[in-house]
Structure 1
Amino acid sequence: MSLAAVDHVRLAAPAGSEDLLRASCASALGGTGIPEPPAPIPKPPGLAARDGC
């Protein structure tokens, strides 16, 4: 099986293990991933008023 691209992967992980999980997934999928932004980006007011939905 061959993948052309992976757009998004979401996995549950214990607190503090995100870096290890990210490295494991990148190794298994053959990619490097995109680093997390340094701080959460606030939701626009229209989304925040609806709990982000």
Structure 2
Amino acid sequence: MDKDNSVQVVFDKDVLSEEWYGCSDGTTTGYMKVKTKEIVNNFLTYTKHIPTVIEL
């Protein structure tokens, strides 16, 4: 929904090194587990967002 690319996507380096990424809608029942490479290579590419990688 961010057609103007106003949202900045930031990932921690350690998160990107994991095979899976888990997220929730803020409830205990709405949880999703997705392959990290699918988010970075497919979803973010499709939405034209380039993630910034940081190291904490």
Normalised by the length of structure 1, the TM-score is 0.37
User: Which has the bigger relative contact order, CA under 8 A and spacing at least 6?
Assistant: 2
- Pick the structure with greater CA Rg: 1
